[in-house]
Amino acid sequence: MPSVPPPATLWATTPPRRLRRLVFPRPVLYGNRCLGVEAPTGVRAGAPSQPEPSAGATPGHLIPPRRKSRMTHPLGMSLLVGAGGFAGAAARYGLSLMLQRHSVEWPLGTLAANGLGCLAIGLLTGLSACGDPLPPELRLALATGFCGGFTTMSSMIYETAEMIRASEYLHATLYAAGTFLFSMVAFVAGVAAVRALVKMRGGLWS
C-alpha cells in the first residue's frame, strides 16, 4: 500500500479545491441516513469512494430513498385534484344542509366545514412531519383536492358581509373571529394528535 504523504507536503502540493475536500469531506447518504464521509481519492490507493451498507442491515437501520411519484403528468394530477375537490364540495354541501336545520341566523355549515377541513390539513401535516407514509398521489387528492373543496373562504366572507349589511356587527365580528380561531385550533389539534399517536406507538405503522 502506498504511504500517505506528510502533512506539510500534502498542504503545499494540493490545489485549494482539492484541499477543501480533504479537510471537509462530503457525507455519504443512503436515503435519509448518513453512513459516513466520502474517502478522499488519491491520498490512499484503493480506498472506496462510498461505504456500502452491511449485508445484515434491516429496514430499521437504513432508510431507503424516498419513492418518486409516478403521477407526473399535469392532466393526471389535475384529474386527481378535480376528483378530490368534487368529493369535498359535495361533502360540504351535505354538511351545510344537515346543520342548517339547527340554526338559521348563524351559518354553522360553513363554520364546521372550515374547522373540519383545517383539522384534516393538520392531520396530513402531522403525517408529513413524521415520515409521510402516504403516496404523493393520495396526499395531492386529499390536501389540495378534498380539503380545498371542503373548506370555503369565499362563503365565510360573503356571510360576514351579509351580517354587516344587516347591521349585525356583533354577529359578524364573532363569526369572523370564531372561524379563524376555530380553524387554527383544529389545525394545531390535528398536528398534535398525529405526533401523540406516533410517540405512543413508537412509529407510524408499527
| Spatial CB neighbours of 77, under 8 Å, sequence gap ≥ 6 | 71, 140
Which residue type occupies 183? Answer: S
Same domain, 85 and 177: yes
Residue at grid coordinates 398521489: 137
Query: What is the predicted pLDDT for the residue at 128?
Result: 84
Same domain, 22 and 87: no
Same domain, 104 and 186: yes
For residue 169, being part of any structural domain is answered with yes
Same domain, 40 and 80: no
CA separation, residue 36 to residues 25, 56, 174, 204 (Å): 10, 18, 57, 27
pLDDT tens string 1-52: 555 555 555 445 555 555 445 444 455 444 444 444 445 554 444 444 445 5
Through-space distance between the first and last CA atoms of the chain, rounded to whole angstroms:
48
- Confidence band for 178, pLDDT divided at 50, 70 and 90: very high
For residue 62, being part of any structural domain is answered with no
Range of the domain at 188: 74-201
Query: What is the predicted pLDDT for the residue at 17?
Result: 53
pLDDT tens string 121-136: 999 998 888 776 788 8
Which of residues 33 and 178 earns the better pLDDT score? 178
All three cell numbers of 50: 462510498
Same domain, 9 and 93: no
Average pLDDT over residues 164-179: 93
pLDDT tens string 93-113: 999 999 888 776 788 999 999
Which residue type occupies 24? Answer: F
Average pLDDT over residues 166-194: 94
Same domain, 101 and 177: yes
- Residue 146 pairs with which residues in a beta bridge? none
- Tell me whether strands 27-30 and 33-37 are parallel, antiparallel or unpaired: antiparallel
Same domain, 117 and 16: no
CA separation, residue 108 to residues 4, 86, 96, 102, 201 (Å): 76, 21, 7, 8, 36
Same domain, 23 and 94: no
Same domain, 131 and 191: yes
For residue 58, being part of any structural domain is answered with no
Query: What is the predicted pLDDT for the residue at 61?
Result: 42
Same domain, 93 and 159: yes
For residue 96, being part of any structural domain is answered with yes
- CA 105/CA 111 separation, integer angstroms: 13
pTM of the model: 0.61
Structurally, the chain folds into a number of domains equal to 2
Residue 33: enclosing H or E segment and its boundaries? strand 33-37
Which residue type occupies 196? Answer: A
